[in-house]
Structure 1
Amino acid sequence: MERKVIEQVVKDLFFSKEAAEYLGISSQRLNQLVHAGQVIPIKKTPAGSLFLRQDLDERKRNLKTIAPELSTDKDHEKIDLNTPFMHEVMNYYTIQSFFNYSDKKTEPIFKELSAEMDMQQKFSKLIEKVSDRLKLNENDLQKAYRKVVKGFQSLSKGDMIIKKGMKDYPKLLAMTDEAPPYLFLRGNISLLKEKIVSVVGSRGASEDGLKKAHRLARHLGNAGIVVASGLARGVDTAAHRAAIEYHYPTIAVLGTPITRAYPKENEQLQRIISQEGLVVSQFPPSSQVQRWFFPMRNAVMSGISLATAIVEAGETSGALKQADYALKQKRLVFIPQSALDNKNISWPKKYIKREGASKFTRIEDLFVALEQAKIIPTIEEQMSLIDEGTEKVYVHQFK
């Protein structure tokens, strides 16, 4: 390796004290962030830890862009936490906090505990048994539980929590390996029973990409399809705004709790969607936002959808993570011909070879595929709903 390359690599590495100074926090606070999984060192030894500049920069961005908590009305009524079901939910997330927010690790443990004791009791009645069973300190358990309760107190009376297995839990999602045990909802829950198509793409989309996302969401809404997206900057925002603008329902699937807004500038949009559409999250209001939450939400977004359309995406876009989940879940994935023609990216050609992925040149092509999959009525039926002026846009070349 050349010396210049080595020097550049070294510049991007920080010892603990340097990392703390770079973030503008104390070394003690840095250790807390590491313990919570919010900052992950690339190497950890008894002599010290090494941090990568890129990871520290991401932590800085999150601090700047995630709103502390969505503001609420003065007459805000809190959700009733004193019910058997709510005890179960809070007990689950108290235990989950000791397993790095992992449902895969927590679910089997919680199932075992439920077989041994009534997990719908107040945690104070269970803490001794849980402590003994999981070999966890009672004080630590109590502290974790108080944090969960504090987070849940930020939920509004109208917020909903549904459990996998309940009738309102999305059937398509329930059939996937990635289905979370609980979903937190704010808005019109009946939208989960409608036909849903996700529109996703780059946060840094071009002006042309934003227009395409807007147009596609508009026509999906006109065809009776509920548009889902992730409320991120760029394509997601354009898709949501199109649905709102034309008074079509839309679903925002968040990588944060429903009580938080990311990015900050979409706080008002999130509030509008919660009033006119639906906001969905698999993350409890007590959780600290982790970077891996965002790709996790892509699995849920794909899981509630019949298909995913990628409008514009780079080689490392989170939209490709959703495409992976969609194909794994046997969903349709649509890729525009313009992406296949782009010589600067290679992912479209890789995906188009996979079963379930299709290209489209015009919006009409995508609708034909949706028709063939029996997701929407025939094109003739759809065209009869569109006036002459709109029809010209409907068949516009999607390039």
Structure 2
Amino acid sequence: MDRKKIEQVVNDLFFSKEAAEYLGISSQRLNQLVHGGQVKPIKKTPAGSLFLRQDLDERKRNLKTIAPELAKDNQHQKMDLNTPFLYEVMNYYTIQSFYNYSDKKTEPVFKELSEIIDMQQEFMQIVQKLSEALSIDKSKLQKAYKKVEKGFQSLNKEDMIIKKGMNDYPKLLALTKEAPPYLFLRGNIHLLKEKIVSVVGSRGASEDGLKKANRLARHLGNAGIVVASGLARGIDTAAHKAAIENQFPTIAVLGTPITRAYPKENEKLQQVISRYGLVVSQFPPSSQVQRWFFPMRNAVMSGISLATAIVEAGETSGALKQADYALKQKRLVFIPQSALDNENITWPKKYIEREGAAKFTKIEDLFAALEKAKIIPVAEKEQMSLLDEGMEKVYVRQFK
């Protein structure tokens, strides 16, 4: 190899400090990413590690650094709806509107129709055949389609729709009975391939509960785990904000279409997450939001996650619905000791008696369980315990 080629190779190699600077993160954060398997050095020696530029570039693409403020919005550019795949998606949701927005009822019907009609054709070309096959008046089908089309026109050019069975569809979610046929995404789709843990809880959370959610989300992020939550008031909002404030990615799983914000006060937070994290919804932009959409999204949130931590919840909290789905889907469920000690609620003891649910007094207990389940490597616990000085060490050790 001549000298010019050698110099080119050397220029593409980075020592740890250089790699951290190139990624715009601390050396400690780089070590955490290495231990978590998100960044792989090309060589490790007692003197240090070497990283390849193209591996670091890939990491940059997959996990954008979260900025504290929104950049100015670009002018809205509509998604191109004139493709065979988008015709199929809009045709599906047109038919779904006649089945009370139920995928369970719609999927088998759509499958049968696909065997006799090319469902990737533009709706108006197949509406007569659909009318005959479904015994639904043609004018009603056309009216439903126009509503679906209008909703889809509100999607951005950068928004994504993925179908169950595609490579980008979350593999863990695909294994569940609750996996929806399509997911609507806004943001960094690569986050779905990261290790995800849901942090959920009460909308009317106490001040202590909000602090716990903040600390837990922060420590999960430090361990290279992506925090998912539902963008609701209370615990969800605290978890998302903790990730953002500490420049960690976060995923918001909505009970509304990605084109809407609920609650309204979280509209800007949703925009920040969609720009620097990921917003996920199983509901088309044409759908009218129903009360049962929110527990449905809990099934999806649990489905993309390796575990769910319930920070604080009352007896009727929606977070318990997610716990039910998580256990059904063979996921871990974590419950803080403080909930078990609360004599005003009975649900914690009921869940602890079920396989897959575990209590934790300290954040270290939760990380130990994640280690045991091989969700994080052993080294991460050691990293987490040495994160910061002063009060941070107190927070790591006290989670009651």
Matched residue type, 2:190: S
Matched residue type, 2:209: G
Query: Are 2:125 and 1:125 aligned?
Result: yes
Q: Quote how far apart the aligned CAs of 1:398 are.
A: 1.0
Q: Quote how far apart the aligned CAs of 1:395 are.
A: 2.5
Q: Which residue pairs with 2:399 in the alignment?
A: 398
Q: Quote how far apart the aligned CAs of 1:397 are.
A: 1.4
Q: Distance in 2 between matches of 1:184 and 1:73?
A: 20
Q: Distance in 2 between matches of 1:377 and 1:233?
A: 32
Matched residue type, 1:86: L
1:34-65 alpha-carbon deviations (Å, 9 max, x no partner): xxxxxxxxxxxxxxxxxxxxxxxxxxxxxxxx
Contact 1:228 1:253 in 2 (8 A): yes
SS in 2 for 1:280: strand
Matched residue type, 1:281: S
1:297-338 alpha-carbon deviations (Å, 9 max, x no partner): 000000000000000000000000000000000000000000
Q: Which residue pairs with 2:185 in the alignment?
A: 185
Q: Which residue pairs with 2:207 in the alignment?
A: 207
Q: Which residue pairs with 1:197 in the alignment?
A: 197
SS in 2 for 1:224: coil
Identity %: 82
Q: Which residue pairs with 2:145 in the alignment?
A: 145
Contact 2:127 2:142 in 1 (8 A): yes
Q: Quote how far apart the aligned CAs of 1:393 are.
A: 3.9
Contact 1:186 1:278 in 2 (8 A): yes
Q: Which residue pairs with 2:167 in the alignment?
A: 167
Q: Quote how far apart the aligned CAs of 1:256 are.
A: 0.1
1:318-371 alpha-carbon deviations (Å, 9 max, x no partner): 000000000000000000000000000000000000000000001111011001
Contact 1:298 1:321 in 2 (8 A): yes
Q: Distance in 2 between matches of 1:391 and 1:293?
A: 38
1:358/1:398 Cα in 2 relative to 1: closer, same or farther (>3 Å)?
A: same
Equivalent runs, 1:29-108 vs 2, <5 Å: 73=73, 75-108=75-108
Structure 2 runs not aligned, ≥5 long:
1-71
Query: Are 2:155 and 1:155 aligned?
Result: yes
Matched residue type, 1:397: Q
Q: Quote how far apart the aligned CAs of 1:75 are.
A: 1.7
Structure 1 runs not aligned, ≥5 long:
1-71
Q: Distance in 1 between matches of 2:328 and 2:94?
A: 31
Q: Quote how far apart the aligned CAs of 1:150 are.
A: 0.2
Q: Which residue pairs with 2:316 in the alignment?
A: 316
Q: Distance in 2 between matches of 1:390 and 1:103?
A: 48
Q: Which residue pairs with 1:374 in the alignment?
A: 374
Matched residue type, 1:316: T
Q: Which residue pairs with 1:387 in the alignment?
A: 388
Q: Distance in 2 between matches of 1:157 and 1:393?
A: 46
Contact 1:91 1:123 in 2 (8 A): yes
Query: Are 2:291 and 1:291 aligned?
Result: yes
- Which 4+ residue blocks in structure 1 deviate beyond 4 angstroms? none
Contact 2:219 2:384 in 1 (8 A): no
1:76/1:109 Cα in 2 relative to 1: closer, same or farther (>3 Å)?
A: same
Matched residue type, 1:374: K
Equivalent runs, 1:183-262 vs 2, <5 Å: 183-262=183-262
1:251/1:74 Cα in 2 relative to 1: closer, same or farther (>3 Å)?
A: closer
Across the aligned residues of Structure 1 and Structure 2, the Cα RMSD in angstroms comes to: 1.3
Q: Quote how far apart the aligned CAs of 1:377 are.
A: 1.6
Matched residue type, 1:278: L
Contact 1:219 1:394 in 2 (8 A): no
Q: Which residue pairs with 1:57 in the alignment?
A: none
Q: Distance in 2 between matches of 1:397 and 1:303?
A: 29
Q: Quote how far apart the aligned CAs of 1:387 are.
A: 3.2
1:263-306 alpha-carbon deviations (Å, 9 max, x no partner): 00000000000011000000000000000000000000000000
How many pairs does the alignment contain?
Answer: 328
